[in-house]
Amino acid sequence: MTTRSDVLPTPSAWVLRFAPLLPPGGAVLDLACGGGRHLHALRNRGLRLHGVDRDAGAVEPLRDFADIQVANLETEEWPYAEMRFDGVIVTNYLWRPRLRNIVELVAPGGILIYETFAFGNAALGSPRNPEFLLRPGELLDAVRPRLRVIAFEDGRIDDPRPALVQRICAVCPREDADTGDPAAYNL
């Protein structure tokens, strides 16, 4: 019998839209992964999955199929200082001091899929604290010039609940490629 606690929240439509761009066999990090709704959605795609969250209880079940770290990304040393990933996924999480670190996690040829709450969301619900709401165009500013933007949205969504969000999908050019060539982005 399935209980309510056994049912994961639905993965982000934004993440699912761009997940096919993740390179087969690539290493993918879900940052602030919580209970792992995106890791579960990606688990049968031939990817090497990694997740990090501060909630040890939430991530424990993910250890069966993903490399998991427990860390408070806001107060502890950055656990990925020398690492790069073929895919980085971030949803519903913002800690401005780490934005540059997150962009730097994307390996050449890799992809960043990021979605979180934007300024104005306080009128619709939580989070309301401006420290956790992106300013207009902030994700665009964070990824440039290192990553090339594939898609960007800044506006209202109604599913799974009304919210104002920014979301971006961006790729890092391969080091050995002419950045004017679409092939440089493994797309």
**What residues form DSSP beta bridges with 152?**
168
Q: Express each pLDDT in 159-172 by its tens digit.
A: 888 999 999 999 99
Q: How far is CA 152 from CA 43, 107, 140, 149, in A?
A: 26, 20, 8, 7
Domain extent listing, the chain? 14-175
Gap between the Cα atoms of 150 and 94, Å rounded? 21
59 with 70: CB under 8 angstroms?
yes
Fold (topology level) of 14-175 = Rossmann fold (3.40.50)
Q: Express each pLDDT in 80-130 by its tens digit.
A: 988 999 999 999 999 999 999 999 999 999 999 999 999 988 889 888 988
DSSP 76-116: SPPTTTT--EEEEEEES---GGGHHHHHHTEEEEEEEEEEE
- pLDDT score of 160: 85
Say yes or no to pLDDT of 28 above 70.
Answer: yes
Gap between the Cα atoms of 63 and 164, Å rounded? 32
What pTM was estimated for this model as a whole? 0.90
- pLDDT score of 186: 56
Quote the tokens at residue 78: 């950055």
Q: How far is CA 133 from CA 52, 74, 126, in A?
A: 21, 16, 10
- pLDDT score of 180: 56
Gap between the Cα atoms of 156 and 120, Å rounded? 10
